[in-house]
Amino acid sequence: MTNDSHSVQIIILNGAPRSGKSSIARAVQEHFEGPWINLGVDSYNAMTPKRYLPGIGLRPGGERPDLEELVPFFYAALYESIAIHASLGLNVVADLGHHDSYSQPLGILSDCARRLEDFPVLFVGVRCPIETIMQRRDIVQEGRETLYLSATEEVPIPEPVQRWQDEVHRPGIYDMEVDTSVLTPLECAEAIRHQLDLGIPEPSAFERIAGAR
């Protein structure tokens, strides 16, 4: 493999749970040329001790201040791992849910962006209307039966779900966005491929975010 930082590609997919990030990541792995390593929230949390979960998947609202001091280190380690994979010539796709709605701002996204300053990064906002997300949360996934809050007649949209929708796209600086309510995962992946062929905009979203102190 090459260690030329500009011959590899890194895609960061950012969106709320059930917005379709993981499906897009799988489509990238299955249809893009060369090896694409998925270093997203699910794979990272699979390595995280259960007592520290949800780890980097900690949802907005400052509900677990006892975990917050660890979250920046988890993210830093994940992004350093992305950098190492890329330095070895491996393409990376990471499906994540960045936000800064903790009990106090942690500035994680800008720190992560600076850790990839030597690499080309396409930062993709994965949008999905909350009504579609709620429909997807009602679909039982094996191993995730208790993971997602469902709607009830009294509470059609649980507050934690609304918080994700409100916070995950702040500040909303992206190189491109896709809407999974109108595009299939493969169509989203093809749109991403098209943007990669055109080239990452300059300055890139991560360059702008890294410069925002």
64 annotated as belonging to a binding site for a ligand: no
Task: Give Cα 206 distance to the centre of its chain.
Answer: 13
21 annotated as belonging to a binding site for a ligand: yes
Residues labelled as active-site residues: 42
> Per-residue pLDDT tens for 132-145?
999 987 764 454 44
20 annotated as belonging to a binding site for a ligand: yes
pLDDT band of 19, cuts 50, 70, 90: very high
> Per-residue pLDDT tens for 42-87?
999 999 999 999 999 999 999 999 999 999 999 999 999 999 999 9
Dist. CA 190–CA 195, nearest whole Å: 9
Question: All domains of the chain, ordered by start, with CATH?
Answer: 10-210 (3.40.50.300)
Residue 28: is it exposed, middle or buried by C-beta count within 10 angstroms (0-12/13-18/19+)?
Answer: buried
40 annotated as belonging to a binding site for a ligand: no
Against a cut of 0.85, is the pTM above it?
Answer: yes
Number of Cβ within a 10 Å radius of residue 107: 12
Non-local CB neighbours of 18 within 8 Å, separated by 6+ positions: 128, 133, 136, 137, 148
